Structure formats: C-alpha cells, structure tokens
Amino acid sequence: MYRSNVLVCGGTGCTSSNSELIIKRLQEEIKAAGLEKEVNVVRTGCFGLCALGPIMIVYPEGSFYSRVTPEDVPEIVEEHLLKGRIVRRLLYQETVVDDNTVKSLNQTPFYSKQHRIALKNCGVINPEEIDEYIAVDGYKALGKVLTEMTPQEVIDTILKSGLRGRGGAGFPTGRKWSFAAANQADQKYVCCNADEGDPGAFMDRSVLEGDPHSVLEAMAIAGYAIGATQGYIYIRAEYPIAVKRLQIAIRQAREYGLLGKNIFDSGFDFDIDIRLGAGAFVCGEETALMTSIEGKRGEPRVRPPFPAVKGLFGKPTVLNNVETYANIAQIILNGPEWFSSIGTEKSKGTKVFALGGKIQHTGLVEVPMGTTLREIIEEIGGGVPNGHKFKAAQTGGPSGGCIPASLMDTPIDYDNLIAIGSMMGSGGLIVMDDTTCMVDIAKFFLEFTVDESCGKCTPCRVGTKRLLEILNKITSGNGTLEDIDNLESLCYYIKENALCGLGQTAPNPVLSTLRYFRDEYVAHVTDKVCPAGVCKALTNFVIDPDKCRGCTLCARNCPVGAISGSVKQPHTIDTSKCIKCGACMEKCKFDAISKR
Amino acid sequence: MKSLAELQAIRDRARAQVEIREGMEDHVRVLVGMATCGIAAGARPVLNAFVDEVSKRQLKNVTVTQTGCIGICQFEPVVEVVEPGKDKVTYVKMTPEKALRVVNDHLVNGNVVTEYTIGANS
C-alpha cells in the first residue's frame, strides 16, 4: 500500500519536453530517500494542459506542479515526499489562492468548465496497467453487455443516447451499428479510425495514449452488437507512443481473456489487431481507410455501397472514430438518459477540442456540446496572449472553416457549425489573432489539401491545385477582382463534384474566409496591401528617419545587406534587395522600423 | 475472464491504488509531522503504521499524509486528525502502537484517545 501517488504525464507533449527523464530521476531519488515502498510513481496519459508541461500531480494532496524540469526532482522528493512541504514555486499558479492556500485543480478555470467523459481516465490511470483501468470500472460495461443484454438492446441504448460520430461528419452511431447488424454475412468487422490527420488535432492520440482500454472495450461491445468477431485499429505510424500502449493493452486484455474466445463465458469471440497507416490524410476517409487495411493503395471509392453493407474485404463493417468509442462504455454504465441529458437538442454529450494557435493554454479540453466559442477561448483557454485581439477561430482543420469574432457566442454543436460555414471536424480549434492574414490561412490549408489529394478524381486533383494558384496570385499582389469570383465558383464546383470527403470539404477554408473576410481579399487585390502584414510581396519595411538614431544595428543584422546608411545618420532599406524577413524590425531598439 | 465476479475481484484488488487520486474534500485527514524534528523522533514508522492500518481496515474516507513542523518539537512525533466540521485533534509523542489505537478508537469508532492528546501530555 502506497501512501502517496506521483502522477507524471507521459503524453506526447510532455514526453517531448523530457517527462521520461523526470520519471527516471524521480524513481532514483525516491529510492535514494528510501521511500520506494511508500511512494508510487505512475506514468499517465495526457492531462490536457499541454502548454504547462511537463506536468506532475502528487496525491493525496493533489498538488499540481507545472513546467517541472529534471533538476526540480530532488527538491520535490526532499521537500514534498519526505517532509510533506509543498514546493510552492512549482505549483500551477491558478491553483494558488491569494490567501496562500492551494485549491484543487478542478476549481481552476481551465478544468472547472470541462466535463470529461471521453477523457475521464486520461491523466488519472496508468495506461499500461489493465488493473488500473479495471479499478475505475473498466470492462464492466462489456461484462454487462455480454451477460445481461441482447445485441439489439445494446444498439437501442446507443441510439437512445443520441451519440453522433466524433470524427467529423456527426452521423448517429447507433444507426450505423443497426445498419451493420441488419446485414447478414458470414463475417463482419469492427474498425477504429485512429488516422487522425487534421493539423492541430490530437485528441484521438491522447485517448489512445491515456486510456487505450476504453477503445478496446467499446470495439468489443460494437462487435457484439453487430455480430463481428474481428476488429482492426487503423492508426498512424507517426503516433509511436499510442501504438506501443495499444499493443500493451491488447496483450493484457488477451491475457485476462477480455479479448479472445468465449469472453465472460458468453460464447462471444472477439479479437483486435493493429494496422499502421503511413500518414496519408485521405486514409482518414472511411472507404480509403478500409482499402488501405486490405493492403491496397489508400484511395476512396464511390459510396454507396456504404461500409455497413459492403466494407472491409467486402463484408459489413462498422467504422467509428477513437473519441466516439471512448464514450461507449460510459453510456452503457450510466444509461442513455444520462448521456442525452448533456449537450444540445441534436448534439448530445461532450466534445473534445484541441486548442492551438494564439491562445494562452494550448491543450486538450472536453466541454458539453453547446458551450460557446467565447467560453472555450476566453475562460478555459485563457484568451489570446501578448495583448493581441482575437480575430477568428478555425475549426475542423483543412475541411472546416473560420468563425469570426462576431460569432463567438454561437453555441458549438454539429448543426450550428455547419450553419455558419464551418464544421465540427475532429475538433481541432486553432485560434488566430490580428497578426493573421486570412488569405494566407486559406492558402496554408489549400497547400495541405493539394499535397494530400490522392489524385483519383479530377475535381480534387486539379481543382485544388487551381485554387492554390489563384490564392498565390492574390497573395503575390497580381490578383484581380475577377480572380476572387473565379475562386468562389471553382470552390462550389469542387464541393459538388469531388469523389470523397477530402475533396468535397477542401474548399471550405476558402469559402468561409471569403464569407467573413472578403474585404481582406479585396485589399490584397485592389489596394495591393496585406492588412495583417503577413504576405511578403505586399509588405514593405520602412525606416522612420525621425526615429532612426543611426545605431547601425539593423544594417549589421540584415542577412542580405539591404540596409545602408552611415553612423548616426538615418538608414534606408533597399526594397529591391529586401527579403522581408523582419530581422531589422525585431532588433531595432528605437521602434523606428515598421511594416507598410 | 469467465464471469463478472472475477472482474469485480480484480477491481476490488486494484481499487486501493487509484482511490488516493480521487477528491478528498470530505475526507478525514491524518497529518503526520514529518519535518526534521518529526523524522528524528521516529515519525516515519508512525506514518507507515497509519497507512497500513487504514488500508488493512479499508477505511474509504481517510487520507494519511505528511505535514511540516508545527513548532512543538519536544512533543514529536505529532499527529493531527482533521475531520470536516470538527475541531482538530492533536496527538503527541506517537508510536506505531499508539497509531493502531488511534485508528481503531478514533477513526473507526469516533472516540478521541484523550490520553494521547496534547492536552493530556503538557
């Protein structure tokens, strides 16, 4: 029996900022202090507050240490673990109250507004230890389903809960399962889409790293509901920690007989294998994903037939996203009424968002559907840093769109986001401030889709390329008003004619920025100005001769020798040589250089 | 895995390890003074005795933790029992044997062991 638990985040974010070394040092120091029988060091999944990593929580006090370095470890062991004195300088400042007391993490703005269902166990249990998952009621839902419920009752429960697919499109999960269950076949499959491809989204990775058994359990439940005996998890090879923990989890579940033959003595067999993806964005599209599992080139095909009729190896298949599966066991245990009491009328439950971009608290948050963008960004996320102003938020990655500041109070759910020209997508939420050029953002996402288009259908292969060319023309200052109109009509053409979701949604970033920030496009074309000062071709650096003291610092730092002038005389920039790197502006101590 | 009972047995066994990570607002807290003076006077065996006994008896709402020096070094090892909504009880000159009695009388049955308290020893 340990008297204290030290939880250290072993998610990808904290691991890359050295949490492995912290764990090693902790174990060494604890051993040196003779505390190894009293203090248990646990490597957990992601806590969500990635901006403050590496993160450590010491229980039973619940002290939340942020930005811990390996050098801090001896002090934590000596002071906190040995003598019981909390190391205040390392505490997350939001947990320290003015009267010098420490409040619990759940009372801080970042956590108090969250409602964790899919992320319930992330940062709480050791993902490499099946016993810890079982200790928090893991596999109880599978046991209940196999011993007390019929497959139809399972499907009815999921239908009644109102759960919709968390991968982006928001199709009701229960209906997907009932279609697959209704189709008779000698073999059916359950697949898990862990090919999280949106730039900026990482909730699926976090669930797999922090709570892999929840996905295995849910896949087995889905298998029982539709009559499948084999599952596949299709995961990107770029997620090595998640892959490793999944492998460990599958091995442990097999050892316990929670995967394999005759689970819970019910006669139900189910096993799961992992398939690694090579990181192609298109393989997140369901038909391309299944083609890739079959060992063929990952290209989408025309639907119908839908996977529930003809999926993997031509058999009825259910394919759900990681986050969708992470909700299943909780729905079975707590009942569909509990789940449907959370959220909005048509979007039930919670959604995980990956906060990124110009925001204080970069990280992972799970909020009830219907929470407004303002609550997520200003209250939970801590707002835009460095005194800048919020301009727009991008949801749904390359398939989604921008939400401008004027729509910040829209309650976020599937239907509201579609109505304002964006989409839920997998839940990436990139915050942009007034230094972001919206044309440049559209260009960024188009560059991504041009790279990732599989090339099977012409509207996507050629169309996205033409879109990008027009955007390049506009940002280089050669655009015309006619280009903007062409851009728009080409967007609609691609939307209507592309084969799969990738192409159909690729124009969204352009369309939504045109809808809310058309004036920026026009400024690029008619005034030849980039209002945010991002597009290099339309930006010039100039030195204000009244402010310049002739210190020569800018000239010495200019990488291309574009700045000339003699000592103590105002300098000038030769715009024909200037590469607009901004080094001079950064170095100037007199604020004499500005963008125009 | 052949039955729900089998799963429940694993759950019960593993439960103690994760319980400590859940909220402790309504918990009875046992604070063992573990500054230099406390450790020198033998606080560590006292702390371990509390942890073991609380775990053995599966007391669900008790948290054993350490604290610093509260300034009465001649009375170390000092143990404070803090129950929500009640006055704090301070036990002094504790030993592992005394700890067992505090768990039994005070934590389980609700009777303060008056003879170990600071009031009876100063």
> From B64, which residue of chain A is nearest by alpha-carbon distance?
A3
Q: Model ipTM?
A: 0.81
Cα–Cα distances (Å) from B103 to A113, A254, B29, B106, in that order, read 38, 41, 12, 6
Distance from CA of A376 to the nearest CA of B (A): 25
d(CA A484, CA A490): 10
End-to-end CA distance of chain A: 66
Question: Cβ contact (<8 Å) for B15 and A137?
Answer: no
Question: Cβ contact (<8 Å) for B24 and A132?
Answer: no
Into which CATH architecture does domain A350-433 fall?
A: Roll (3.10)
Domain boundaries, chain B: 25-121
- Number of Cβ pairs < 8 A linking chain A and chain B: 96
Distance from CA of B58 to the nearest CA of A (A): 11
How would you list the strands of the sheet with A317-321, edge to edge? A260-263, A268-277, A230-236, A189-194, A317-321
d(CA A259, CA A250): 8
- For chain A, list residues whose CB is within 8 angstroms of any CB belonging to chain B: 1-5, 7, 38, 40, 57, 59-62, 82-85, 104, 106, 124-125, 131-132, 134-137, 139-140, 143-144, 147, 256-258, 263-265
Strands A189-194 and A230-236: parallel
Q: Is B117 on the interface with A (CB under 8 A)?
A: no
Which residues make beta-bridge pairs with A364? A354
Which of A61, A84, A134 has its CB closest to that of B7? Answer: A134
Assign B64 to helix, strand or coil.
strand
Mutation for B interface: A2, A3, A47, most B CBs within 10 A:
A3
> From A3, which residue of chain B is nearest by alpha-carbon distance?
B51
Per-residue pLDDT of chain B (122 residues; tens, 9 = 90+): 889 999 999 998 888 778 777 766 678 889 898 888 888 899 989 999 999 998 888 888 888 888 877 788 888 899 999 888 888 899 999 999 999 999 999 999 989 999 999 888 77
Question: Cβ contact (<8 Å) for B14 and A59?
Answer: no
d(CA A9, CA A23): 9
Distance from CA of A21 to the nearest CA of B (A): 23
Mutation for B interface: A134, A254, A269, most B CBs within 10 A:
A134
Distance from CA of B119 to the nearest CA of A (A): 25
Q: If you ran DSSP here, which 8-state letter would residue A38 be given? A: T
For chain A, give me the number of helices (H) and strands (E)?
Answer: 25, 18
Distance from CA of B33 to the nearest CA of A (A): 8
Q: Could you confirm whether domain B25-121 is CATH 3.40.30.10?
A: yes
Assign A227 to helix, strand or coil.
coil
CATH topology of domain A438-527: de novo design (two linked rop proteins) (1.20.1440)
Per residue in A419-444, pLDDT (tens digit) is 998 888 888 999 999 999 999 999 99
Cβ–Cβ under 8 Å, residues A2 and B17: yes
d(CA A286, CA A121): 28
d(CA A373, CA A429): 10
Single out the residue of A424, A360, A13 nearest to residue A202, CA to CA. A13
Question: Cβ contact (<8 Å) for A5 and B51?
Answer: no
- Chain B contact set for A59 (CB, 8 A): 20-21
End-to-end CA distance of chain B: 59
Strands A260-263 and B28-33: unpaired
**What b/e sequence results for A531-560 when a residue is b if at least 16 CB atoms lie within 10 Å of its CB, and e otherwise?**
bbbbbbebbebebeeeebebbebbbeebee
What residues contact A489, with CB distance under 8 A and at least 6 apart? none
Q: At what angle do helices A151-161 and A173-182 cross, to 10 degrees?
A: 150
Distance from CA of A189 to the nearest CA of B (A): 23
Domain boundaries, chain A: 4-105, 130-340, 350-433, 438-527, 540-595
CATH topology of domain A4-105: Glutaredoxin (3.40.30)
pLDDT for the residue A3: 85
Cis preceding-peptide flag for A531 (omega within 30 of 0): no
Question: Cβ contact (<8 Å) for A84 and B66?
Answer: yes
Residue A528: its H or E element: none
Q: Measured on CA atoms in the order A577, A580, A586, A588, is the torsion positive or negative? A: positive
- Chain B contact set for A135 (CB, 8 A): 11, 14-15, 17-18
- Chain B contact set for A136 (CB, 8 A): 18
Which of B18, B64, B68 has its CB closest to that of A125? Answer: B18
Which of A57, A84, A135 has its CB closest to that of B11? Answer: A135
Per-residue pLDDT of chain A (596 residues; tens, 9 = 90+): 788 899 999 999 999 999 999 999 999 999 998 888 889 999 999 988 999 989 999 988 888 999 999 999 999 999 899 888 889 999 998 888 777 677 778 888 888 889 999 999 998 999 999 999 999 999 999 999 999 999 999 999 999 999 999 987 899 999 999 999 999 999 999 999 999 988 889 999 999 999 999 999 999 999 999 999 999 999 999 999 999 999 999 999 999 999 999 999 999 999 999 999 998 999 999 999 999 999 999 999 999 999 999 999 999 999 999 999 999 999 999 999 999 999 999 999 999 999 999 999 999 999 999 999 999 999 999 999 989 999 999 998 888 899 999 999 999 999 999 999 888 888 899 999 999 999 999 999 999 999 999 999 999 999 999 999 999 999 999 999 999 999 999 999 999 999 999 999 999 999 999 999 999 999 999 999 999 989 988 988 989 999 999 999 999 999 999 999 999 999 999 988 999 888 999 899 999 998 87
In angstroms and rounded to an integer, the radius of gyration of the C-alpha atoms of chain A is: 27
Residues 15-74 of B with CB under 8 A from A: 15-18, 20-21, 23-25, 31-32, 34-36, 39, 47-48, 51-52, 55, 63-68
Between CA A69 and CA A79, with CA A74 as vertex, the angle to 5 degrees is 115
Cβ–Cβ under 8 Å, residues B121 and B75: yes
What residues contact A296, with CB distance under 8 A and at least 6 apart? none
**Residue at B115: amino acid letter:** E
Which of A60, A124, A131 has its CB closest to that of B65? Answer: A60
Single out the residue of A64, A133, A67 nearest to residue A104, CA to CA. A64
> From B51, which residue of chain A is nearest by alpha-carbon distance?
A3
Question: Cβ contact (<8 Å) for A40 and B55?
Answer: no
Which of A38, A124, A257 has its CB closest to that of B48? Answer: A38
pLDDT for the residue B23: 64
**Residue at A258: amino acid letter:** L
d(CA A189, CA B78): 62
Cβ–Cβ under 8 Å, residues A595 and A585: yes
Q: Tell me which CATH homologous superfamily contains domain A130-340.
A: NADH-ubiquinone oxidoreductase 51kDa subunit (3.40.50.11540)
- Chain A contact set for B24 (CB, 8 A): 60, 62
Backbone angles phi, psi at A225, to 5 degrees: -65, -40
Cβ–Cβ under 8 Å, residues A545 and A485: no
**Residue at A230: amino acid letter:** Q
Mutation for A interface: B2, B17, B69, most A CBs within 10 A:
B17
What residues contact A83, with CB distance under 8 A and at least 6 apart? B34, B35, B36, B39, B66, B68
Backbone angles phi, psi at B77, to 5 degrees: -70, 130
In angstroms and rounded to an integer, the radius of gyration of the C-alpha atoms of chain B is: 16
Question: Cβ contact (<8 Å) for B4 and A264?
Answer: yes
> From A105, which residue of chain B is nearest by alpha-carbon distance?
B23
Question: Cβ contact (<8 Å) for B64 and A59?
Answer: no
Single out the residue of B65, B53, B31, B66 nearest to residue B104, CA to CA. B53
Q: C-alpha dihedral over A18, A22, A25, A27, to 10 degrees?
A: -130
d(CA A69, CA A87): 13
Which of A7, A132, A143 has its CB closest to that of B14? Answer: A132
What residues contact A139, with CB distance under 8 A and at least 6 apart? A133, A213, A217, A258, B1, B7
What residues contact A587, with CB distance under 8 A and at least 6 apart? A553, A554, A557
Question: Cβ contact (<8 Å) for A83 and B2?
Answer: no
d(CA A403, CA A373): 9
Q: Measured on CA atoms in the order A162, A166, A170, A172, is the torsion positive or negative? A: negative
Distance from CA of B100 to the nearest CA of A (A): 16
pLDDT for the residue B16: 75
Question: Cβ contact (<8 Å) for A85 and B68?
Answer: yes
> From B3, which residue of chain A is nearest by alpha-carbon distance?
A264
Counting every residue written for chain A, the total comes to 596
CATH number belonging to domain A540-595? 3.30.70.20
